[in-house]
Amino acid sequence: MPGSKNSEAKGNDKKSAGRILIVGLGNPGREYAQNRHNIGFMTISRLAEGNNIDLGRVQQRSIIGTGRISGQDVLLAKPQTYMNRSGEAVGGLSRFYKIDPQNILIVYDELDLPFGSLRLRQKGGAGGHNGMKSVIQHLGNDFPRLRLGIGRPPGQMDPAGFVLQDFRNGELPILEELLADACMAVESFLVDGIDLAMTRHNKI
């Protein structure tokens, strides 16, 4: 269970009694709002909208909101440090609210997953993602994460340029479905723990 003292023994199979920090990675500013790189921010916005959580406070260099999702106390956050310094904000929130890394779910874009797919992982490396590199520098690598597939860039296009492009109009129906799936995966993580959530939502 996220954050439980018995989580290893019980396989993370039930929700925690403590608060869970859910962080979506992205870049602040209107010019980045619809970028592929900001799908983590988009997920946090959907979670907030769907659960009547007000993202109206700024703390520890993040826009935050507190509330309950599926009966679990949560803190939703969008770091405002730009992607490659995301760990500064996440680390600050972790220390300020005394939330252990195992109780922090990071949501972010993944080039190496097909667009529209997602994968939950219990821990791991950054996989070349600069935001995750920064988070790992501040938290270590033992924290759960939700990777949202945006696919590889076409042809010889630079991946750095691709992630900073907006989703195309023709991609929006798939994006909507992916954001809905991401919210369901987060809710499953909160209710059932990471192991069962992975079994239910990791399709590839």
- Residues designated as active site: 37
Interatomic CA distance for residues 44 and 76, integer angstroms: 7
Cα-based distances in Å from 39 to 12, 86, 163, 192: 26, 14, 10, 24
How far apart CA 112 and CA 39 sit, in angstroms, is: 15
| Number of Cβ atoms within 10 Å of the Cβ of 185 | 23
Q: Are 83 and 98 in contact (CB under 8 A)?
A: no
Rounded to whole angstroms, the Cα distance separating 3 from 20 reads 8
C-alpha to C-alpha distances, 61 to 126, 127, 164, 165, 170, nearest whole angstrom: 22, 25, 22, 25, 34
Closest CA to 63 of 98, 104, 22: 22
